[in-house]
Structure formats: structure tokens, C-alpha cells
Amino acid sequence: MDLQPIYGTERPVPSVTNHLIAPKAPFIVEVTPQERNILSGVGNLLMKAFKNYDNPDYISALHLHAYQLLPERITRILSRFGTDFSADQYGALIFRGLVDIDQEDLGPTPPNWQQADYSKLRKYGFICSLLHGAVPSKPVQYYAQRKGGGLLHAIIPDEKMSSTQTGAGSKTDLYVHTEDAFLLNQADFLSFLYLRNEEEVPSTLYSIRSHGKINPTLRKLFDPIYQCPKDANYSDQNKPGTGPTASVLYGNQELPFIRFDAAEQIFSEHAGQSPEAMNNLMAFWEEAKPLINSDFIPESGDVVFVNNHLCAHGRSAFVAGQRTENGKTIKCERRQMLRMMSKTSLINIRAVTDTHDPYFIMEEHLGKIFATS
């Protein structure tokens, strides 16, 4: 076994050392046909042995399965990713061509996520869970999202919404957010497996590391004065401006982590920021906007793997079920994506997890827990 290279020959070589160049794009891992084959075989094997990825016998030994079954290069990349918070680390990896997706077997995209057929998604759930296991991190579910809804969520644009979406060419801002910015125990790692992306919607990413050194604008974001409104689709929204506050940047003062949701914290009518907080956020947004990266267009079988404390992801407008080719609008299958979220420690989140299920996070808003009974 070769213990030296972590990324093999594919690790990017910084042209200037001493961290003078801030990373502006995710690292892309080209998955080899051999690795893809191994993963496919492993997915089939695990389905036979455990039936579902939430099987307690499987999930409690997830890290063991990951280290035993994943191709070694992929395990090493993910293991390194889990501990790398350096100035060079963008906070997102793209695994290009990780999974072979049988489009015929998948069938047409369901009208909405409520109608997703998870029996067709089990193999992909096993493969995604292994990636988290290699970090190592544990897949979890959140009551705040779909009241749980399992460890794997199908992300599907609602068919009824497609006609109300703005046109693909509209100048809608690329709103980026870290997942569940309104929770103290938000996911540590996220994976997005693209089953199909025929509309060719770019993946939108933004990393706090892209700014380079902390400047006075960023320094102000360490103050715990910022409202983090819950998702707009909650009906029991607090009166704007009356909720708990948090800092946007946290952790290390020089190489910080980030909690941020542009849509909810700046542009929503519920944002409720104080004038000082809003000024700081707007100044930050002006610096952040040009650093948003939407160069990569995921294809079927690609996985975007994100450190949710370093890198935010996007909400870009697109018309589901169509794309433009040579100036013409062409119909296509609507996008379908699978999201998995994970925490590196179940012990640290125990105060907010379900009494009988330590993988189920019951936090409602910045430390407050849902009253479910």
C-alpha cells in the first residue's frame, strides 16, 4: 500500500506557496471506469446484504464499510477533506462520473419529491452514505426538513412550479446559502448526487476561502448580531427582527467557518436585520458575489461533496423540463438530485436529537428544539 500521495497525481499544485492564492473553484476528481465499476458492485452487494442504507446494522458500522469497500483513492481524498480547513481548501469536491445511472430504470422524473420512488434509489443511497462514512461522518436527518423524511432526500423541482419559474435567461441573483443556516447543528457535510440534469443547470458554489485573508469587512461578521430567519416556507415565522441572532463567521479567527443564507438574511422581507447588521451584510455580499462559482455543469452520475462550514451552495433560477439549444427551447426530463447530510459527531448533537434516534435532529431554530408532542 502506498502511504504517501493523498490525491495521487491529481492534487492541484499551487503556483505560489505560502497560501497567497485563494482557491476559487472546487477540486474536481475524475473517477476512473474501474472505480465506477467497483462502486456499482459495492452498491449491489450492500443492497443484498442490508436492504436499505438506514439499516442500523449497516449505518452503525458505516465507517468500516467505507474503508473496506470504497476504492482507496476516493477514501483517501474524502478522509483528507474531512480534516482540511486550510487556506487552500475550497470546501467542495466534485466527483465526476462517480455513479452509472440507468436512466431507463430510473424512469420519468416524478412530479414532486413527495412522489419519489425510493425503491429505485436505494443503491445510490448506499453509495452516497459510503462517501460520508469515509470522511468519517454520519448521515443524519432533520425534523426541520420534511419532518425527517429519511437519510436521503430526492430533490425534484415541483412540476406545478415550472410554469411560475422565471425564464432561464432572467437576471435572478445567484443566492447562495450554507444548508440550514438557521440551525446551530447544521450539517457538517453534504452530498448532491445528480441523477439527471438535462436542463444543464450549473452547480453554484461559494467558498469563504475564496476571499483569502480576513479583511475589515469580513472581521465584522464575527459579531453575533445577525438574524438567521427560518426557511420562508414556515408559517409560524417569528416577527421579523425578533429572533435569536448568531455570527456569520465562527471558529478560527484567521481561517473561519461560515453560516450564511443570502436569500433569508439579506433579501427576504423577513430578514429583520438591524441597520448595522444589514450594512455589514451588504458590504460582505458585494465582496462575495464576484467569487460565486457557477462554472461547473453537473452531468448524470456526478457528485458534489461539500463541507457545509466552508462552502455555500446555490439556488439559481431555471425552467424545469426544458433547455435551450442553438437558441431553441427543447423539452427534457426534469432535474433530479439526491441529497444526503451528515454530522461528524453524534455525541456533540445529542442535546438536540430524538431520544430514541440519535441520527434524528430535532432543532428548530438556533438551539431551540421542536415541540412535537
The site for Fe ion (CB under 5 A) is made up of 179
- Residue with Cβ nearer Fe ion (43 or 157): 157
Beta partners for residue 343, in sequence order: 138
**Distance (Å, rounded) from C-alpha 86 to C-alpha 207?**
12
- Residue with Cβ nearer Fe ion (38 or 155): 155
- Residue with Cβ nearer Fe ion (100 or 231): 231
**Closest approach of Fe ion to the CB of residue 290, in Å:** 21
**Closest approach of Fe ion to the CB of residue 315, in Å:** 7
Q: How many CB atoms lie within 10 A of CB 24?
A: 14
- Residue with Cβ nearer Fe ion (35 or 261): 261
- Residue with Cβ nearer Fe ion (197 or 280): 197
**Closest approach of Fe ion to the CB of residue 154, in Å:** 14
- Residue with Cβ nearer Fe ion (179 or 198): 179
- Residue with Cβ nearer Fe ion (179 or 264): 179
- Residue with Cβ nearer Fe ion (129 or 203): 203
**Closest approach of Fe ion to the CB of residue 96, in Å:** 21
- Residue with Cβ nearer Fe ion (179 or 199): 179
**Closest approach of Fe ion to the CB of residue 313, in Å:** 6
**Closest approach of Fe ion to the CB of residue 193, in Å:** 14
**Closest approach of Fe ion to the CB of residue 183, in Å:** 12
**Closest approach of Fe ion to the CB of residue 179, in Å:** 5
Q: Are 186 and 308 in contact, with CB atoms under 8 Å apart? A: yes
**Distance (Å, rounded) from C-alpha 23 to C-alpha 90?**
6
**Distance (Å, rounded) from C-alpha 189 to C-alpha 176?**
16
Residue that is written with C-alpha cell 425578533 in the block = 242
**Closest approach of Fe ion to the CB of residue 186, in Å:** 10
- Residue with Cβ nearer Fe ion (312 or 349): 312
**Distance (Å, rounded) from C-alpha 136 to C-alpha 197?**
28
N-terminal to C-terminal alpha carbon distance within the chain: 53
Closest residue to Fe ion in the complex (CB): 179
**Closest approach of Fe ion to the CB of residue 177, in Å:** 6
Tell me the chain's radius of gyration from C-alpha atoms: 20
CA distances to 175, 221, 293 from 15, rounded to whole Å, are: 31, 30, 20
**Distance (Å, rounded) from C-alpha 156 to C-alpha 301?**
16
